[in-house]
Chain A
Amino acid sequence: MTDHQSVSAPRRRARGERFPTLRRAWRYGHTKAGLVLLVLVVLMAVVGPAIAPHSPTEFVGRPFAPPGQGALLGTDSLGHDVWTRVLYGGRTVLWTSIAATVIGMVLGTTLGLYAGFVRGAVDGLISRSLDVVLAFPQLVLVLLFVSMLGSHLWLIVLLSGVAIAPGVARVSRGMTMDLATRDFVRSAELLGLGRTRLLFGEVLPGLTSPLLVEATMRLMWSIGLIAGVSFLGFGVQAPAADWGLMINENRNGFSLQPWAVLAPVTMLGLLASGSGLVAEGLSRALALVSSAEMNP
């Protein structure tokens, strides 16, 4: 019985520990850089209000005053302290874009899973519905509903999530169709397992890495989308502090007091770049890890 015992030391090709993609991504310089940026911005957004010298709606000087006493970065179009408003202005964009991303990911992943696995009429229905959503430019979709229903943050979050979902669903559907034909799924089918258990027990674990990459990319896009909505004036309303809104409010005084615009611009840029860099690192790691899995 032990004639064919394999000599010890099985091939150590890919270390089968958990999270090979994350470990790999950590090695890249830009992942680290991206994470540093993200942490910085998040810290600022979360802790900011606690260290702000003034209140965001307090008048500290005449409008568009240059940096000076009491106003580190000068004042904005209504005489508020720019630095304070910057410290307060990240919270909304952060929680809304994270929430929108989560909604979009959950919705998109589930729809993609079912469409890719069940195929046929269900796939047709889901894909057509996604096509309808995709027919609207993302911003237009949000504006359409906001126009008559009002600029409620929960509405914007929900709509942004819905706008993001089709892209995620496409990725998830594509991968599910690929995985669903693999023998290990057939093998589980032979156990008599039902469709739900097959989808979530066998297929979904194989999707986690690509979905992680998708999530960071969608976060990047949703930041742009939500900040864009605020920039247009349909997001958070004045006098609340919000980076997107601030850019719009203060752009008339650009030549007088560029900091009122530059500060929120920088913060948004850092936030978006940070998640973009992390997304890139994850994406490269994924490509490497999955090609190693494919070619034993």
Chain B
Amino acid sequence: MAVVTRDAAPRVHWLVRRLLASLAVLFVVSLVVFAATQALPSDPAEAILGRDATPERVAALRDQLNLDRSLPSQYVSWLGGILQGDLGESLTRRAPFADALVSRFSNSFVLFAVASLIAVPLSLVFGVLGATRRDSWGDRVGVTVSLLLSAVPEFVIGVLLTLLLATTVFHIFTPVALVPEGESILKHPEAMALPVLTLVLAVVPYLNRLVRAAMTDTLGADYVQMARLKGISESQIARRHALPNTLIPVVQASALVMAYLFSGVLVVEFLFRYPGLGTMLADAVANRDLPVIQAVTLVYAASIVLLNLSADVLTIWLSPRLRTGDVR
């Protein structure tokens, strides 16, 4: 599938528009994060310190968080700081947390990446198999199992897996991830085993059914019947006719599922006490550690926006209509 280089202008134009749209979304996201944490009617400092806090401590905190300035000014200095890499200090640790954030983020990213790299190809394979062997005995079992697994919340799956593999039935893995603070997960890969397995079991049933549906739709199309009438073999049909048309819905579905995976990763990290961004956020929320909450939320949002942007770029690259300059 060679990329058509003529008529690149409309595509570049579209790409720039999408980029600007993404930036606009991030901007509004930052407003929402700010509003949800600092622009509340009640005093954030009191909420953080609790009822028993002395007025001096409240005042000190307000000063530290710049809460006495006007809201727009607060927002500008906060956002400005973030963009320059100054995330502020963690209120619980009383120290900058940027390094910790990076370390946790990379751990979460590794977990997410490994889970995706296993789950997406598996889903593709199962989905295509399911579509080409529709209504066979194996397909029916597969669909029912997928259905049940995809309905169940991922921490439930995680708990059942822990039961099965770590505590009661077998004892292959440890029920929690034993990774010292600050160290990269890559030095302790066995700690990823259960979390990754849980995530894969949470994602594959759902994504594989989306792929199966997209593939089934494609296989039912008129051009597939026409290819059969031309005497093209079934395997050729699946590969050359069906697959290219299935890729776009699959890319969109994968992006959707991966965005949903972010929530899943959070819960799974918490379950297995995995040192990632999710547990960082959970701890921060429990302690009302304002700067950390704000920074982590922004990181999540930026990741999703980037993910969607990539999916859109991939879609346009795969779509003949859009490639030939016939942009929406």
Chain A: residues with CB nearer than 8 A to chain B?
30, 128, 131-132, 134-140, 143-150, 220, 223-225, 227-228, 231-234, 247, 251, 254-255, 258, 261-262, 265, 268-269, 272-273, 275-277, 280
A273 to B263, CA, bound (A): 19
Contact indicator A258/B168 (Cβ below 8 Å): yes
Residue B150 at the chain A interface, CB threshold 8 Å: yes
Contact indicator B151/A140 (Cβ below 8 Å): no
Residue B270 at the chain A interface, CB threshold 8 Å: yes
Given contacts A128-B21, A231-B270, whether A272 and B153 have CB atoms under 8 Å apart is yes
Which of B33, B144, B152 sits near A30, CB closer than 8 Å?
Answer: B144
Contact indicator B159/A265 (Cβ below 8 Å): yes
A149 to B290, CA, bound (A): 12
What is the CB-to-nearest-CB distance from A227 to chain B, in angstroms, rounded to a whole number?
6
Instruction: Report chain B residues within 8 Å CB of A225.
Output: 263
Which of A136, A146, A258, A272 sits near B152, CB closer than 8 Å?
Answer: A272
For the complex with contacts A143-B282, A251-B271, 4 further pairs of A-B residues with Cβ separation under 8 Å are A227-B153, A228-B153, A231-B271, A254-B175
Instruction: Report chain B residues within 8 Å CB of A251.
Output: 159, 271
What is the CB-to-nearest-CB distance from B71 to chain A, in angstroms, rounded to a whole number?
15
Given contacts A136-B297, A233-B286, A269-B152, whether A261 and B270 have CB atoms under 8 Å apart is no
Shortest Cβ-Cβ A-B pairs, 7 listed: A276-B151, A224-B153, A137-B262, A139-B263, A137-B263, A147-B285, A272-B151
Which of A30, A136, A220 sits near B304, CB closer than 8 Å?
Answer: A136
Interface string of B151-186 (1 = CB under 8 A from A): 111111001101100011000000100000000000
Interface string of B277-311 (1 = CB under 8 A from A): 00001101110101001000100110011000000
Name the segment of B24-32, B191-199, B316-324 touching the other chain: B24-32
Q: Using a Cβ–Cβ cut-off of 8 Å, how many residues does chain B contribute to the interface with A?
A: 51
Instruction: Report chain B residues within 8 Å CB of A265.
Output: 156, 159-160
A148 to B38, CA, bound (A): 9
Residue B37 at the chain A interface, CB threshold 8 Å: yes
Instruction: Report chain B residues within 8 Å CB of A128.
Output: 21, 24-25, 28
Residue of A nearest to B48 (CB): A148
Which of A135, A148, A255, A262 sits near B301, CB closer than 8 Å?
Answer: A135
Instruction: Report chain A residues within 8 Å CB of B211.
Output: none
Residue of A nearest to B28 (CB): A132
15 contacts between A and B (CB under 8 A): A128-B28, A132-B29, A140-B262, A143-B282, A144-B297, A147-B37, A148-B40, A148-B290, A227-B156, A228-B267, A232-B282, A234-B286, A254-B167, A261-B159, A280-B147
Which of A136, A150, A224, A258 sits near B163, CB closer than 8 Å?
Answer: A258
What is the CB-to-nearest-CB distance from B125 to chain A, in angstroms, rounded to a whole number?
22
B contact face: mostly helix, strand, loop, or mixed: helix
A135 to B305, CA, bound (A): 6
What is the CB-to-nearest-CB distance from B48 to chain A, in angstroms, rounded to a whole number?
8
Residue B229 at the chain A interface, CB threshold 8 Å: no
A262 to B162, CA, bound (A): 11
Residue of B nearest to A231 (CB): B155
Residue B36 at the chain A interface, CB threshold 8 Å: yes
Which of A136, A143, A258, A268 sits near B153, CB closer than 8 Å?
Answer: A268
Which of B24, B33, B144 sits near A144, CB closer than 8 Å?
Answer: B33
Instruction: Report chain A residues within 8 Å CB of B297.
Output: 136, 140, 144
What is the CB-to-nearest-CB distance from B23 to chain A, in angstroms, rounded to a whole number?
12
Contact indicator A140/B152 (Cβ below 8 Å): no
Contact indicator B167/A255 (Cβ below 8 Å): yes
Residue B53 at the chain A interface, CB threshold 8 Å: no
Contact indicator B37/A220 (Cβ below 8 Å): no
Residue B44 at the chain A interface, CB threshold 8 Å: yes
Residue B47 at the chain A interface, CB threshold 8 Å: yes
A23 to B284, CA, bound (A): 50
Instruction: Report chain A residues within 8 Å CB of B36.
Output: 144-145, 147-149
Instruction: Report chain A residues within 8 Å CB of B271.
Output: 231, 251
**Interface hub of B24, B151, B155, B262 (most chain A Cβ within 10 A):** B151
A248 to B167, CA, bound (A): 16
Given contacts A128-B24, A258-B168, whether A134 and B153 have CB atoms under 8 Å apart is no
A144 to B281, CA, bound (A): 9
A268 to B158, CA, bound (A): 13
Contact indicator B263/A269 (Cβ below 8 Å): no
What is the CB-to-nearest-CB distance from B122 to chain A, in angstroms, rounded to a whole number?
20
What is the CB-to-nearest-CB distance from B141 to chain A, in angstroms, rounded to a whole number?
13
Contact indicator A136/B29 (Cβ below 8 Å): yes
